[in-house]
Structure 1
Amino acid sequence: MIFSRKSGSGSGRHAKSDARAKGQEAFDDEFDDDLDAIEDDADPRPGKSPRTGGPYDISEAPDGIAQLDLGALKVPAVDNVEVRVQADNEGKIQQIVLVYEQSALQLGVFAAPRSEGIWDEVRAEIRKQLFNDGVAAEEVAGDYGTELRARVRTPEGLTDIRFVGVDGPRWLVRAVFQGPAAENPQVAPPLLECLHNLVIDRGHEAMPVREPLPLHLPKEVTDQQAAEAAAAGGAEPGTNGTNGTDGTDGGEAARRKPSPRPRRK
């Protein structure tokens, strides 16, 4: 499934990696039972100064930003950026990748406790998992604090990846830059714009800490898929594909298999 802000833009080929799985294998079953409302005048990020930009919690998001509503994530619509999603036949999204030229940004959002951020802990686990896979990672300073940078081997060759974590009120955004933007995010300003204007709708239900927040295709897309399936004689939704605004058949992208694990260098 591909959504594009501008038809014919240079999308590039994003490097396949094991980024989607990193940082998730050690997730535990701890529950966040603290559902007290966060006061409007309080900084919801423990130990953090007030943020001048996003990602934003839905309670503090600015108005007037065009967005693609994917459930817990509201992805800003930015020119020349393709939003590629991998979803099942029920419209539940397993993967979101934003593509600009030769760079990509993979997004994930997870439940977190209100009382403390979890990026430091998750980052340590990602680094350990990369080490176990024979990949050396280094901590680097970034706009959102400490990040991880590594180089992994994929079927297309070696590629750089950079893990960025943003702790919010009862959520964690994990952003993974791939390609040239992993070495220097400034080479892909539209991807930075997407991250800076990202909006998270955590909801109020209790969820296990580090549980992925629910993501789904926009209702108009699932309605279109159902209509196409009915017109095709009852074919399974998603098997016919849904064209993006650039006319690309999204069915193949939606069925794309998860990226393989990085091999040792």
Structure 2
Amino acid sequence: MTDENANQPDDAVADDAEHVLDAKSAPDDRADEGPLDETEANPVRPYVDLGGIKVLPREGLHLRLEVAEGTQQVVAIGLDFAESSLQVQPFAAPRSSGLWHEIRTTIGEQIERQGGTTRLADGPFGPELHAVIPVVQQPGQPAASTREARFIGVDGPRWFLRGVITGRAVTDPEAAAAVEDLFRSVVVVRGSSPMPPRDLIPLKMPAAQVGTTPGAAPAGESPAPALGA
């Protein structure tokens, strides 16, 4: 097998690598099938407004707001569905380049420094990271264990949406399809205000008329009110 970079100057190889890191990563049908930009979504659908994202209610879906203890700001949205959990975060991104390739590499390096393992896989949204992550145990708790997770990401118009899948959808195809469809249904509300790339697009609690108002709780420990019948 021929190495296409073998005869290229070092600076040319470096330029190619930088171009790959900057490239947008998204499924070809993203603008039709999601995740959608606010300008692409049907405005009459009954979305739950969470600030930087909107979510469609569906039977069996429960919402968790992950809140930073110091600032009390919502830093992530947890969606519990199909015996699985999908954590989503929307970030500002450049107009002409993407973030997922670089962020995916950084996540893998962080997990491996923590003693976990990762592997790259092709998924319905493009490249994704499958990880086995050590779980830090408190004194008096059972011996250390691990959990499996799928890290997925999509570069959209001036935004990047990251998802972390845990639970049954990591290994079960039926649950995976359900959670992937849930991720596609998310609408990102980037807004027109200038934001530095990688800044979290502000999130908020849903309006009371949704039916159940979730309370603020530390990240990963918030309640899970129903978002569907």
Encode CA deviations 1:170-220: one digit per residue, 9 max, x unaligned: 100000000121234532544233211110110111111100001111343
State how far apart, in whole Å, the 2-side matches of 1:175 and 1:46 are: 14
- CA shift at 1:62, angstroms? 2.8
State how far apart, in whole Å, the 2-side matches of 1:47 and 1:108 are: 16
SS of equivalent residue, structure 2 residue 64 = strand
> Unaligned stretches of 5+ in structure 1?
1-44, 222-242, 260-265
TM-score (norm 1): 0.63
SS of equivalent residue, structure 1 residue 187 = helix
Partner of 1:123: 104
Which of 244, 249, 262 is matched with 2:212 structurally? 244
- CA shift at 1:160, angstroms? 1.1
Say whether residues 1:107 and 2:88 are aligned partners: yes
SS of equivalent residue, structure 1 residue 128 = helix
- CA shift at 1:124, angstroms? 0.7
Partner of 1:94: 75
> Unaligned stretches of 5+ in structure 2?
1-23, 222-229
Partner of 2:122: 141
- On the 8 A contact 2:27/2:124 being kept in 1, the answer is no
Which of 156, 171, 177 is matched with 2:159 structurally? 171
Which of 168, 173, 180 is matched with 2:168 structurally? 180
- On the 8 A contact 1:103/1:179 being kept in 2, the answer is yes
TM-score (norm 2): 0.72
State how far apart, in whole Å, the 2-side matches of 1:46 and 1:97 are: 23
Question: Counterparts of 1:47-58 in structure 2 under 5 Å?
Answer: 49-51=28-30, 52-58=32-38
Encode CA deviations 1:77-114: one digit per residue, 9 max, x unaligned: 11101011134799741221111243100001101000
SS of equivalent residue, structure 1 residue 194 = helix
Question: Counterparts of 1:1-265 in structure 2 under 5 Å?
Answer: 49-51=28-30, 52-87=32-67, 92-154=73-135, 155=137, 157-184=145-172, 186-220=174-208, 244=212, 250-251=214-215, 254-256=216-218
- CA shift at 1:50, angstroms? 4.6
Partner of 1:29: none
- On the 8 A contact 1:137/1:148 being kept in 2, the answer is yes
SS of equivalent residue, structure 2 residue 105 = helix
- Percent identical residues: 33
- On the 8 A contact 1:98/1:191 being kept in 2, the answer is no
Higher helix share: 2
SS of equivalent residue, structure 1 residue 59 = helix
State how far apart, in whole Å, the 2-side matches of 1:47 and 1:177 are: 17
State how far apart, in whole Å, the 2-side matches of 1:63 and 1:200 are: 13
- Cα gap change, 1:111 to 1:166, in 2 (>3 Å): same
- On the 8 A contact 1:138/1:150 being kept in 2, the answer is yes
Give the number of equivalent residue pairs.
189
- On the 8 A contact 1:56/1:199 being kept in 2, the answer is yes
